[in-house]
Amino acid sequence: MNCPGSVLLYQHDLKSYRDLPIRMSEFGKVHRYEPSGALHGLLRVRHFTQDDAHIYCTPEQMLTECIEAIKLTLDVYHQFGFEDIDVKLSTRPAHRIGSDDIWDLLENTLIDALKELDIVAQINEGEGAFYGPKLEFVMRDAIGREWQCGTLQVDMNLPERFDLHYISETGEKKRPVMIHRALFGSLERFIGILLEHYAGKLPVWLMPVQLVICTISSEQTEYVSQVVNIFRHYGVRVEMDTRSEKIGYKIRQHTLKYVPFIAIVGDKEQQSKTLTLRSQNGKPLGTFTIIEAMNKLIQDCQRPDKDARFRTIQDAIDTLLTDAVSDTHA
């Protein structure tokens, strides 16, 4: 639990209502002594990294901050390809701190936030934290398994316990609301869920290596080096394979590594300044110019800024090729 650390940061200096909301996030280390029989790869470990965040706001800002946090959480999951998300509302437990009036306000705020976003939540009676109610975000992977990852908790009790305050418009000391938010929960666990969901074949934008360019002979090494520099310049994660191995062997090795795209370069491609592409499943995609191959990769990566990035790409490629040739001759 790293909430006290966030509290100490908040208490570092005096806060005004003009400073709120204050949003603090961190990737903090968490240790749990799990029994050895419960350990399960990345999905259950003893030491993991948690993407925890705390939002300090006024009571009037609480509803808006909850809505924005829910929208952010769902947007992140959708970006990773998880569309089927269940939301569960965990209400006050039997053993808790704070008055019923505070709990009524906090629970109603979460309910109003869900209504605003037209989300129907499952109610988990009595499953909230001892200091406040919470939302749990449950995703389903490709084979229907449920994984609870993100949480959102609203809290007016810990600010009371830790004597947190801000100066209001009238100059009075008032208690802020503390919102606890985690999107992924355990980063290690989320990576494990992703690998399970995609069976190791991650989307192109997530793959550590998106493209490998393989040479047929050592004659193409210089050309491939220039092309690799061009792709890297525009943010594509690319490697080259210039080993003196048969091309079929190279293709098989990189296919088994689930590399999304494999480019083959021989004398013909070198002379025409092109690349012959194939996808990870072995499907031939054809021969492309450098700009066509770049646009193909960006399209599959689904980068939102691709149009802006490639408005002058042909000029940039010509310049980079010219500079690379000049450097070689020099």
- High-pLDDT (> 70) share of the chain, %: 91
CATH, residue 41: 3.30.930.10
Q: pLDDT tens, 182-207? A: 998 888 889 899 888 888 888 888 88
Single residue among 165, 198, 231 that ends a domain in this structure: 198
pLDDT of residue 259: 93
Asked whether residue 169 falls in the same domain as residue 281, the answer is no
Same-domain status, 7 and 124: yes
Q: What is the mean pLDDT of residues 144-148?
A: 86
The reply to whether 135 and 210 lie within a common domain is no
CA 87 to each of CA 110, 204, 270, 307: distance values in angstroms, whole numbers, following the listed order:
11, 28, 54, 35
Q: Which residue has the higher pLDDT, 5 or 58?
A: 58
Answer whether 0.85 is exceeded by the pTM: no
- pLDDT reported for residue 216: 93
DSSP states of 165-176: -EE-TTS-EEPP
* Tens of pLDDT, residues 229-282: 988 888 889 999 999 899 999 999 999 999 999 999 999 999 999 999 998 888
Number of Cβ within 10 Å of residue 37's Cβ equals 6
Question: How many distinct structural domains can be found in the chain?
Answer: 2
> Residue 180: its pLDDT value, please?
93
Catalytic positions are 3, 32, 50, 52, 54, 134, 180
User: Based on the domain organization, do 108 and 7 belong to the same domain?
Assistant: yes
pLDDT for residue 37: 84
Give the model's pLDDT for residue 329.
45
Same domain, 150 and 244: no
The rounded distance, in Å, linking the Cα atoms of 22 and 265 is: 53
The residue range of the domain holding 294 is 204-329
Same domain, 41 and 176: yes
pLDDT at 144: 83
Q: Say which CATH number the domain at 229 has.
A: 3.40.50.800
Question: With bands split at pLDDT 50, 70 and 90, how would you rate the model's confidence at 306?
Answer: very low
How does residue 302 score in pLDDT terms, banded at 50, 70 and 90?
low
